[in-house]
Amino acid sequence: MQQGAARTAADPDTNDPAAVASSTARPPVSTRPGAPAQTAASSRAATTRSRAHTADLVRVLLFTGVVVAHSIHGINTAPDVVRASNLAGTLLHLTRYGFVAVTLFVLVLSTRDRPMAPRTFWRRRFGLVVWPYLLWTLIYSVTDHLVIQGNPFGSPSQFVGDLALNMIDGEGKYQLYFLLISMQIYLAFPAIAWLLRRTENRHWAVLGAAAAIQLTMFVVYQYLPRPGGEFWFQVYENLWKTLPMYALFVAIGALAAYHHEAVERWLRDHVVGVIAAGLVGTSISVGAYLLATSPGHVPLQSNTPWNPATLPWLLGGLALLWLAAMGWDDLRAAGRPVGAKVVSAATVRAFGVFAVHPLILDILARLGFMGALFDWFPNSAVLRSILLVVVTLTLSLVLVDLLLRTPLSRWLVARPRIPVRKSD
């Protein structure tokens, strides 16, 4: 396990596609009395690695949030719990926007001091996401018919047609759309890096423009009627999977990395204010949700991922999550026992859990586990949800550990294979 984690830290091309990990690890800067003064390069390398640990924890928490969201959504649909369940789901929309921000953060941070030509970048990065995307689309196109009740295979031509369409629109399974977004990030990243350099003295304007683009997308999707005509309807149905829907978080992640020292210093100097602002933003979004809903009545528009009322939470929640990860990283760097090895191991497995957990949920449903939860806890949606999340995470981790030891590890879980037996 640790061998795989160590290799990932040292090889930037072995990272999961949902949030590309940090740049090459460097030896820590010596702080012993009489040691040579640290160079600017070594100081910058140490700073970069620290940000990588912070990003690792944020990424692990976001992936865990995806499992939580899909678990509680599938089991809590009764009228007496749907309001609370959908509120949790609304807050967990943070995962998709947080992923985008963290992906851009680590991409900018890991390539700023070693820029590469666009073709080189694309050649190194696209395989990390394309192959897992294609393979898991194929896998779910088969397992959805084998595992889910009442979903038999159609004709061979229908299967091939559906598979081809799913590979285009990201609908092979409900989480795979994010890999389409990852591909767009990789495709656009050379242009994003160029824009950061060209607008170095106007980054507030860049942030404002990105906010305007994303808010426009939110308003269009939340309030305007759907377009007529089959072609425009299909464009509309898939436009939310494109980068304009995430423009603000693309900018936040990229600019936070570009100015990482100043941003982190500002966060540390204004911790109380940032926490207060985050809590206020959360209160605004939760209050808007509660005003738009009532027990047993939750309109669809109240918890969409593009509801403008959720923006205060999305921004405040990301800031609070990052602050918490920074605090954890400070304790880790001070040698405190705060689970650094657990986070390292979880980072290696995070994308795999993201990929496999819907299959685990489908299998649990087919085996009757969901019904058993209602028998065991008929009056407690909280206990049902907690147990389902724990079981899903545990079984997902077991499956991912098995996949990590197969020759297809890099293609299935975006990580290098971990040998079954340690070499002597």
Residue range 366-375, pLDDT digits in tens: 999 999 999 9
pLDDT per residue as tens digits for the range 128-173? 899 999 999 999 999 999 999 999 999 999 999 999 999 999 999 9
Mean pLDDT in residue range 231-247 = 90
User: How many angstroms separate the CA atoms of 301 and 391, rounded?
Assistant: 31
Give 50 or 60, the one with higher predicted confidence: 60
Each residue of 1-41: pLDDT tens digit? 333 333 333 333 334 544 443 333 333 333 333 434 444 44
Structure tokens at 380: 């407690």
Per DSSP (E only), the strands in 289-346 are none
Nearest to 128 by CA among 61, 58, 56, 179: 179
How far is residue 153 from each of residues 150, 174, 208, 368, measured CA to CA in Å? 10, 19, 49, 22
Residue by residue, DSSP assigns 231-242 as HHHHHHHHHTTS
Q: Quick one: average pLDDT of 232-259?
A: 93
Q: Mean pLDDT throughout 351-364? A: 96
Say what the pTM is: 0.86
Domain boundaries, given as residue ranges, for the chain: 2-26+41-413
Q: What are phi and psi of 131, to 5 degrees?
A: -65, -45
CA–CA gap between residue 291 and residue 410 (Å, rounded): 46
The predicted pLDDT at position 423 comes to 55
Is residue 422 predicted with pLDDT exceeding 70? Answer: no
The two three-digit tokens of residue 338, written as one number: 């705060």
The predicted pLDDT at position 275 comes to 97
Contact between 259 and 203 (Cβ < 8 Å):
yes
Q: Which tokens belong to 261? A: 């020292």
Distance CA 257, CA 280 (A): 25
Give 79-112 pLDDT, tens digit per residue.
Answer: 778 899 999 999 999 999 999 999 999 999 988 8
d(CA 251, CA 101) in angstroms, rounded, equals 8
For residue 102 the two structure tokens come to: 């963290």
What is the largest distance, in Å, between two alpha-carbon atoms of the chain?
75
